Amino acid sequence: MLMKGKRGLIVGLANNKSIAYGIAKACQEQGAEIGYTFLNDSLKKRVVPIAAELGSDKVYKLDVSDETDMSAIAGLIEKDFGKIDFLVHSVAFAPKEALTNSFMKTTKSAFNVAMEVSVFSLIDLTNRLESVLSDNASIITLSYLGGPAYIPNYNVMGVAKAALESTVRYMAEDLGRKGQRVNAISAGPIKTLAASGIGDFKQILNWNETNSPLRKNVTTQEVGNSAMYLLSDLSSGVTGEVHYVDAGYNIMGMGTVEKNEDGKTIMSWDAREK
């Protein structure tokens, strides 16, 4: 088992449809012992049963914007695990108005919230856990194509993901001196709780399915398997990378083309609609 003897913390699990759940399941099936965090009492009701399903009773309250929670997390981890070998950062947030209005209408406060929660929390959390991260620990965070490229309605979250990917590279250099690794996974669109806040998300799903080389959308299981590789010793020579798990969509310069009944070349999306 690839993760046997490994211990880790997954931050940001929301429900059994989340990417973090796919990662947790893949790691647990390969023998890892995992602790989980929940944001508030409402999410605790979802996370505790999922943790139990995956064989864990190690569940901690952690709001990355709350100093009390952040100050306590390392002590809780040390008490239950001693050291941990991996950390999964699955945390992102932007106020709703920043995802529904045009990008140019983003307020300073919404911008700051998105950057603090979605980006700085990775740096802050890693620093807080420094004393309990093993020397060869692996850290991953979750990004999206809306960082390096324009995606409709992604708005300030796209800017945050771009900053997050840059953060991964700078962290990789700093932590690499200790033997620790940092990578990001850029997953294709998946129906998750976080995705529900993005306008026209169904169209994004349809477009990705139609125009990706594999002609499909990825699953949380597929993302979880890739994350498990990055968290395991199989990827001991990999750091500072953004690993795409999106059925290949990120390589496309434009939509795929098909022929209609008259032999005319048309975009595959147009063919699907007709």
All domains of the chain in start order, with CATH: 7-273 (3.40.50.720)
pTM listed for this prediction? 0.90
Q: How far apart are CA 156 and CA 159, in angstroms?
A: 5
Is there a contact between 152 and 98 (Cβ–Cβ < 8 Å)?
no
Three-state secondary-structure class, residue 104: helix
Is residue 144 part of the annotated active site? The answer reads yes
The residue annotated as part of the active site, out of 21, 36, 60, 144, is: 144
Three-state secondary-structure class, residue 138: strand
DSSP conformational letter for 154: T
The residue annotated as part of the active site, out of 21, 154, 244, 249, is: 154
C-alpha closest to that of 86 among 29, 141, 14: 141
Q: Please report the pLDDT score of residue 249 as a whole number.
A: 94
**Structure tokens belonging to residue 27:** 């790691």
The residues, any chain, with a CB within 8 Å of residue 241's CB and separated by 6 or more, are 168, 183, 184
**Structure tokens belonging to residue 149:** 């490229």
Q: How far apart are CA 176 and CA 226, in angstroms?
A: 21
Three-state secondary-structure class, residue 264: coil
The half-sphere exposure of 131 on its side-chain side, counting CA atoms within 13 A, is 11
- The angle that helices 108-115 and 155-176 make with each other, rounded to 10 degrees, is 40
The residues, any chain, with a CB within 8 Å of residue 93's CB and separated by 6 or more, are 113, 114, 117, 118
The residues, any chain, with a CB within 8 Å of residue 67's CB and separated by 6 or more, are none
* One pLDDT digit (tens) per residue for the chain, 274 residues: 999 999 999 999 999 999 999 999 999 999 999 999 999 999 999 999 999 999 999 999 999 999 999 999 999 999 999 999 999 999 999 999 999 899 999 999 999 999 999 999 999 999 999 999 999 999 999 999 999 999 888 999 999 999 999 999 999 999 999 999 999 999 999 876 565 556 566 788 888 899 999 999 999 999 999 999 999 999 999 999 999 999 999 999 877 666 566 665 555 554 444 3
Helices (H), strands (E): how many in the chain?
Answer: 10, 9
Which residue in this structure is represented by tokens 């139609």?
210
Q: Please report the pLDDT score of residue 4 as a whole number.
A: 97
**Structure tokens belonging to residue 10:** 């997954």
C-alpha closest to that of 158 among 103, 224, 112, 107: 103
Is residue 229 part of the annotated active site? The answer reads no
For residue 40, the one-letter residue type is: N
The residues, any chain, with a CB within 8 Å of residue 273's CB and separated by 6 or more, are none
